[in-house]
Amino acid sequence: MELYAVKFGESSFRLKYVYRDMEHSDEIVKIAWSYYIAKHDHKTIFIDTGFRDENTANQWGITFTGVEKELGRIVDHLNSVDTVIMTHSHFDHIENLDLFDRPEIIISKIGYENALKECSQSIQQKLLQCRVLTVEDDYIWGGLFRFQVIGGHSDDSSVVYFEANDNRYVLTGDECYWRDNMISNRPIGVYSSTENNERFLNDAHHHGFIPLPCHDMQIFEQHPAISKNIVRIL
């Protein structure tokens, strides 16, 4: 399997949102906005999609990296993507879904329901056009990925476990903002259920999973770069 992290934006962020135990801190840190691409068994799988709306980016203080020009190193065309796995329905994870043709989509049942009510019309239409597999608890895809609904960061928040090269990994969505959330077992500061987030972190920390979050700049500093904004994890 090949696995890549794709950074489509950068911004400042309050540390109290990264760590629940820093709720009184005014410290500002820098975060990435990213998603992942896997290639396995002649299939291309996106884990989340990013977004592209300039007005939304401005509201959040996000600077886009222009990574779209670099994607050709991994994917011939978005129409050739086989599967999109959505960790949750927040805008920065789902709002580029309409750029794909008709991939298989895996998403939590509550995430699907949320998206049909809250996402842009183009995303709602895409969800209705594609084959969507909705998950209430967990689901094994391709004998490789275990998609599990956590409900910590948001009510539909999910993660993806897998094993490769004798290591165990978890694509955390936003159940971790930084890898250190899991390494140090420190819950996130933005949550729907901190109990569910804590339960996930405790379990993954105990079992030695390697976390792969969507907002950690260190992912892009500590893995080999194949272009300015894309690194190869595996």
The pLDDT assigned to 202 comes to: 97
d(CA 196, CA 132): 25
CA 159 to the chain's CA centroid: 8
Give how many domains the chain has, as a whole number.
Answer: 1
d(CA 16, CA 112): 29
At 171-222, the pLDDT tens digits run 999 999 999 999 999 999 999 999 999 999 999 999 999 999 999 999 999 9
Q: What is the dihedral of CA 90, 139, 185, 207, to 10 degrees?
A: -160
At 92-126, the pLDDT tens digits run 999 999 999 999 999 999 999 999 999 999 999 99
Give 13's DSSP letter.
E
d(CA 56, CA 58): 5
| Contact between 81 and 75 (Cβ < 8 Å) | yes
Host domain of residue 9: 2-232
Give the domain CATH number at 204: 3.60.15.10
Q: Supply the pTM of this predicted model.
A: 0.98
